[in-house]
């Protein structure tokens, strides 16, 4: 894997392949921001669970138990923005000059970070895609369901715990994907001064 990414990195002058280092670093920063935001959302859910365990389960939750739209990555706007950023880094639009000719547009669409990772680091790409899909599909469901269930006296502590545990699972997968990207970057681009590894 390391030799493959280094071969792509040492592209000849004028090559049409993306600059892998900058693209990987940008992708890492986007995912790192998402992990931070997801950890905030999970922290809130964990506090709700702890409070539910500590109080009488027959009492409804205080009025403040609402899944705030802007909290962490629970907000729909945040999720749309971060997934758009991920897509734009992995599969950017072709440059303007390549859009005029169909063959140049298709060739440019094949020269993406996603293609490079699929060739040289398929396991990293697969785990990354699985983590993004898991978090992306679970957040809207939890956002819609969490407040209702936390306030419903018939919802058991175990049911809330199962939701929080599932959220933690998606966060762990996202963190693991971020760390895989970090290893690819550090293994192939150890110096920040632009020197060869």
- Nearest-5° Cα angle at 65, 63 to 67: 135
State pLDDT tens for residues 28-60: 999 999 999 889 888 888 888 888 777 655 555
> Is 12 contained in some domain?
no
> Given this model, what pLDDT does residue 177 score?
95
109 HSE (CA, 13 A, CB side): 7
> Is 47 contained in some domain?
yes
In which band, very low, low, confident or very high, does the pLDDT at 128 lie, cut at 50, 70 and 90? very high
- Nearest-5° Cα angle at 126, 122 to 129: 135
> Is 193 contained in some domain?
no
> Is 7 contained in some domain?
no
> Is 3 contained in some domain?
no
Range of the domain at 37: 18-188
In which band, very low, low, confident or very high, does the pLDDT at 193 lie, cut at 50, 70 and 90? very low
> Is 46 contained in some domain?
yes
> Given this model, what pLDDT does residue 110 score?
64
> Is 13 contained in some domain?
no
Answering whether pTM is above 0.75, one says no
Q: How many domains does the chain have?
A: 1
CB count, 10 Å around CB of 28? 19
> Is 24 contained in some domain?
yes
């Amino acid at each position: 894997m390391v030799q493959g990414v280094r071969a792509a990195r040492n592209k000849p002058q004028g090559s049409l392949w993306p600059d892998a280092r900058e693209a990987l670093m940008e992708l890492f920063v986007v995912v790192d921001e998402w992990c931070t935001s997801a950890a905030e959302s999970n922290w809130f859910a964990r506090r709700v669970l702890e409070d539910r365990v500590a109080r009488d389960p027959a009492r409804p939750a205080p009025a403040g138990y609402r899944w705030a739209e802007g909290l962490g990555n629970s907000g729909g706007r945040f999720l749309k923005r971060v997934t758009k950023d991920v897509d734009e880094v992995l599969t950017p639009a072709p440059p303007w000059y390549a859009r005029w000719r169909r063959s140049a547009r298709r060739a440019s669409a094949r020269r993406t970070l996603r293609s490079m990772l699929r060739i040289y680091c398929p396991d990293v790409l697969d785990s990354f895609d699985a983590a993004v899909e898991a978090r992306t599909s679970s957040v809207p469901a939890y956002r819609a369901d969490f407040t209702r269930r936390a306030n419903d006296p018939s919802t058991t502590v175990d049911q809330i715990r199962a939701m929080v545990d599932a959220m933690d699972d998606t966060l762990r997968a996202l963190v693991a994907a971020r760390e895989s990207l970090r290893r690819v970057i550090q293994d192939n681009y150890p110096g920040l001064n632009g020197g060869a590894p």
